[in-house]
Amino acid sequence: MGTSTRNSGQNGHSPLVPTWLEGNPVPVAPVETGVPVQPAPDTSQNPNQPLQPIPVEADPNRFRGPRTSFTHFVSGGGRNGSSMRRGVSHYVSRSLGGSSNATKRLGSARTSTSRLYGVLHTLAGGGGLRDVARLLAIDNLEGLRASEFFIKVAQFICPDGGSEDEGISRSAYYDTVADNPELMDKPTENLTREEIDLILQSYMSKVVMQQIMNGIANNTIRFSESLDEISHIEDAVEQLIDQSVADAFAQVRQENADMTNLKAKEITDRVYQKTFEILERVGD
């Protein structure tokens, strides 16, 4: 998983969706404006800003079942796929409270995903790199390998920050660059639309992967007998998530003949939610 951001998992006493994840997202600039993304206005000093209600505490035991299932998967050396699928399914449905809450819990990763979608959609358009350069106000994008291009635009897609979900965004982004060497070694302007779609799917898969591993797996997987076993376990989870994201992406594409930058946030959120809906069902 490369540079993946790991932690010991969410506390069962925390709310399903913290109120700070419900705030105003950073908007994605439409391609037509040519204006880079601007931060959302600071409302912290506004006395008229209504206070967020204190969220109701969720079931403190809601992680126990999914973590137990994943422990069975790990203790069997990653051979019991049904335990893994059950753990992932129950994590989404019970620990996170369903696909909608699971999507909301991605936090700023949702904004980073919509930004990446906007850049990739612009890159695949008629203006290509020229339009991307105009959108982001960045010079000298021509002639770069894809890896150099994505590193150069990284600060726009996942800017530095201190929260956990921002760390997940950056980690998933750089893992996407590192884990697709054949695509990333190509000249940026030679990337096909299909390859551009694969880059977006790869990023979204890694975001979901890190959320799930942080939620139910990291405390358990460290007790695996070898690095090869850890790699096998992670590969099995990653294959499940990759296929779920690909299926969700295909469903959303069928529903949206016109997948434009103006709908970037809506589209990428729907892909995430459909991914979690698919993952909820894998334990049936």
3-state DSSP assignment of residue 132: helix
Q: Report which of 191, 193, 198 is spatially closest to residue 176, judged by C-alpha positions.
A: 198
Predicted confidence (pLDDT) at residue 283 exceeds the cutoff of 50:
yes
CB contact at 8 A, 201 and 268: no
CA angle 133, 137, 142 (to 5 degrees): 30
Query: What are the pLDDT digits (tens) for 268-281?
Result: 999 999 999 999 99
Note the pLDDT of residue 47.
52
- List the chain domain ranges: 60-281
Note the pLDDT of residue 247.
97
Note the pLDDT of residue 30.
43
Higher pLDDT, 131 or 8: 131
Predicted confidence (pLDDT) at residue 66 exceeds the cutoff of 80:
yes
For residue 121, count other CB atoms closer than 10 A to its CB: 22
3-state DSSP assignment of residue 187: strand
- Give me the mean pLDDT over the 73-77 stretch: 93
Predicted confidence (pLDDT) at residue 23 exceeds the cutoff of 60:
no
CB contact at 8 A, 208 and 272: yes
Q: What is the mean pLDDT of the chain?
A: 83
Question: What is the reported pTM?
Answer: 0.81
Predicted confidence (pLDDT) at residue 48 exceeds the cutoff of 80:
no
CA–CA separation, 88 and 103 (whole Å): 15
Predicted confidence (pLDDT) at residue 84 exceeds the cutoff of 50:
yes
Could you tell me what percent of the chain has a pLDDT over 70? Answer: 76
Predicted confidence (pLDDT) at residue 32 exceeds the cutoff of 80:
no
Burial 160-189 (b: 16+ CB within 10 A, else e): eeeebbbbbbbbbbbbbbeebeebbeeebe
Note the pLDDT of residue 24.
43
Query: What are the pLDDT digits (tens) for 192-247?
Result: 999 999 999 999 999 999 999 999 998 888 888 899 999 999 999 999 999 999 99
Predicted confidence (pLDDT) at residue 62 exceeds the cutoff of 60:
yes
> Largest alpha-carbon pair distance within the chain?
56
Burial (CB count <10 Å: 0-12, 13-18, 19+), residue 110: buried
